[in-house]
Structure 1
Amino acid sequence: MPHAQPVARRMFDLTEPIALVNFFADEPNEAMAELGFDNYWDGYFAGRSAPFGRVPAAVVDAAFYNFGPGEVARHLPKVWGTTTPEAAHAARERGCLEGLRRILGDLAGSGGLPRAAELLAKASTSAPVHGRVMYAGLRALPLPTEPWALLWHAANMLREHRGDGHVVALVSERIGGLEAHVLSALDMGIHPPESFGRIHHLPATLLAEVMGGLRDRGLVDTEGRLTPEGRATKDRIEALTDALAEAPYDGLTPAELDELVTLLEPLARRCQEAWSE
C-alpha cells in the first residue's frame, strides 16, 4: 500500500540505530572472538557475509561495494578456516541480542517491543528481492520467532535492503565505493575527506587517485571540498536511495506504520544515545 508521503527516510532514522548494534556494541565482537577470531575485521566479514555461504571474495566485494582493493580478499575465504557461515551468523545474532538487551532492557517492560518486532518483520519481508543481493541473502534465512531476535533480524534486513538500493544509486551516478566514502565524509563536514575513518588507512597514492578522479569530474574542488555539482550528485544519490527504500513499508497500512513509528521512537533514541557516548 503506497503511502501519501515517502517514509523511507523517517524509518531509516528509526531502524539504523538499532541495526548499528552490529558494529558499535562490544557484545557482537566478543561473540565473534569466541569463535576464534582475533581481530575485528575477520569477524565483520565472517558475520556480515555469512548468509552468502562460502562464496569467493570477489562476490562479497561486489555486494559490499565500498572496500579498497584487496581488503575483502585478506579475510575471505580465510575466515572459513576458523568457523562456518552458519556459526558466524549465529554468533553475530547472539552478540547483537545481548547488546540490545543491555541497552534496551528496561524499555521492553511496556510490552511494546514484541509488537514493534512483529510490525518491523512484516515490513522487512514485504519487499521484492530481485536485484537486492544482501537483502536476498538475509531473506533466505529462517525468520526468528523470539521478539528480541526478530527485532534485530528485521532491522538488519531493512538496513541491507536500503544498502542494496544505495549501491544502485551510486552506480547510476558512476560513483565508486571509495568515492562514495569521500562524498559521505564531505557531507558530514569531515575535511580533508581522506582522514575519514573508513578510508584513512588506505595507501596515499590510492586516495590521491580517488580524489583526482572526483576533481576531474568537477565533483570536488582543488581544496577537496564539494562543488555545486558534487553536492547535487550527492543529493541525487540520497534521494534515489530513499525512493528505492520505500517498498518494505508499502506492506504496512497507514495505521500500522504510525504504530510502528511510535513504538520505535524510544528504542531508536536509546540506541542513538548509547552510540553517542
Structure 2
Amino acid sequence: MTTPSPLPSLLSAGRRCQQALEAVHVFTYFTPETVREFAAFGVEDGHTRYFAERSAAMGRVGAGTVTAAFHVFKYELVARHVPAVWERVAPEEAVAARLRACDAALRRMLGEEVVSAPETAEAAELALRAAEAGERASRPLFAAQADQPVPDAPHLALWHAATLLREHRGGGHLAALAGAGLDPVEALVSHAADGDRGSLTRRLLRTRGWSAEELEEGARRLRERGLLAADGALTAAGAALRRDVEEATDRLDAGPWERLGADGTARLTELAGDLARRIAAAGGSPTGSPRRAEDAREG
C-alpha cells in the first residue's frame, strides 16, 4: 500500500499560514505612521504612496515595470504617479521610510512587551526559514525584497519575512491567473464576485484605475465564457475556475512550506495568528479581520 502524499494538506496549511502572515504585512499600507513618513517627503496622495512603498525595493523603476509587477492596475493610472514620485522620494529613502513606519506602528499596536517577546523572535525565525526557500524567478517583487537586508529587531525581521512570503505567493498567484486566462480586469471582477468578500474587494474595483465601462466589458467577457451569471455572481464554472486558481497558487507557493514542514508551519500559523488578531484589534487590518486581509493581494 502506498502512503498518501502529505503535500496537499501541507499546501492547505501553507495557505492558512499565509492568511495570518498577510495581516502582519499589509497594515503598512493603511497605518498613519506610513502616511506621516511619506508626507515628510511631500508624498501625500494615496496611490503615489502605495506605488512608491511597494515598488521601492526594485529601484527607480518606471510605470511599465510597476504595472507588470502589480498586475491589476491600469497603466495610465500608474503612469500618473511613477516615475515622478522618485523626484520627491528616492527608492532607498522610501525603503527606509517604510521600515521606520513599520517599527513605529508595530510598537504602537502590539506594545513593547509583545514586540520584544520570545514568541515574536520565534515567529521571525520560522518565517525567515520559510522565505529562504522562495523562488526569485518570475517574482520581481519577491526578488527585490529578498535583496534587502534582514532587520536586526525580531519584529521587523518578522515583517520583512512576511513581506517576502506575501510577494512570493503573489507572484505565483499572477502566474495562476494568467494560466486561467484571466486578464487584470477579469481577475478583479471574478474576485469581487467570488462570495461575500465585503467592502474591501468592492473598493478594489474603484481604485485600480479601470472605468465602469472597462469593468463591465470584463464582466461581459466572463459571461461569454460561462463564468459569470447575469446577476454578477460566479457560475459553477466560474467558482471552479477561481478554486483552480487558488490551488495552482498553492502549488506554486509550495517551497516555503515544504522547507518549514508541517510542524513548523502549524507553529508559525499559531504565532502569526495571535499577532494578526492583535493588529486587527488595534485597527491595523483594512477589514478588521486578519483572514480577510488576504483580499488586498488580488493581483
TM-score (norm 1): 0.91
Equivalent residue number for residue 229 of structure 1: 237
Distance in structure 1 (CA, Å) of the matches to 2:144 and 2:259: 20
What residue identity is the alignment partner of 2:58? Answer: F
Per mean C-alpha deviation after superposition, the further-off stretch among 6-15 and 259-268 is: 259-268
Cα root mean square deviation, aligned: 2.1
- For 2:211, which of 203, 222, 226 is the aligned residue? 203
Q: Which moved more, 1:232-241 or 1:262-271?
A: 262-271
Determine which of 140, 143, 149 is the counterpart of 2:156: 149
1:183-213 deviation digits (Å, cap 9, x = unpaired): 121124269x9x9211235322212211111
Separation in 1, partners of 2:142, 2:197: 30
Report the counterpart of residue 34 of structure 2 in structure 1.
28
The one-letter code sitting in structure 2 at the alignment partner of 1:73 is: A
Answer with 109-118 or 164-173: which moved more. Answer: 109-118
SS of residue in 2 equivalent to 1:196: helix
Please tell me whether residue 261 in structure 1 is matched to residue 269 in structure 2. Answer: yes
Distance 2:82 2:26 in 1: 23
Which residue in the other structure is 2:142 paired with?
135
Which of 42-51 and 197-206 deviates more?
A: 197-206
| 1:177 aligned partner | 184
Name the CA distance, whole Å, in 2 between partners of 1:150 and 1:131. 24
Q: Which residue is 1:271 aligned to? A: 279
In the alignment, what sits opposite 1:73? 79
Amino acid at match of 2:121: P
Say if 2:63 and 2:79, in contact at 8 Å, map to a contact too: yes
Q: CA 1:115 to 1:171, structure 2 compared with 1: closer, same or farther past 3 Å?
A: same
Paired positions, count: 274
Q: Does 1:162 align with 2:162?
A: no
Contact kept, 8 Å, 1:21 with 1:100, in 2: the verdict is no
Equivalent residues in 2 for 1:82-121, closer than 5 Å: 82-105=88-111, 106-108=113-115, 110-121=117-128
Distance in 2, matches of 1:265 and 1:190, equals 20
Which residue is equivalent to 2:293?
Answer: none
Q: Give the 3 Å change call, closer, same or farther, for CA 14–204 of structure 1 in structure 2.
A: closer
- Mean alpha-carbon deviation: is it higher for 196-205 or for 111-120? 196-205
Give the conservation status (yes or no) of the 8 Å contact 1:8–1:243.
Answer: no
| Residue identity opposite 1:5 in structure 2 | L
* Amino acid in the other structure paired with 1:222: A
User: Which blocks of at least 5 consecutive residues in structure 1 are unaligned?
Assistant: none
Query: Deviations for 1:209-251, whole angstroms, at most 9, x for unmatched residues?
Result: 1111111111112222211111111110111112222211222
Give yes or no for the alignment of 1:5 onto 2:10. yes
Q: Does 1:45 align with 2:45?
A: no
* Fraction of identical pairs, as percent: 36
Given the alignment, which residue of 250, 253, 256 partners 2:258? 250
Q: Distance in 1 between matches of 2:195 and 2:30?
A: 19
Provide the rounded CA distance (Å) in 2 between the counterparts of 1:253 and 1:219.
36
In structure 1, distance between residues paired with 2:222 and 2:129: 41
Shift of 1:109: 5.2
CA gap of 1:127–1:222, structure 2 versus 1, over 3 A, is: same
Change (3 A) 1:22 1:178: farther
Which whole-Å deviations, capped at 9, do the CAs of 1:53-91 have from their partners, x for residues lacking one? 112211110111011241111111010110100001111
Tell me, yes or no, if structure 1 residue 55 matches structure 2 residue 61: yes
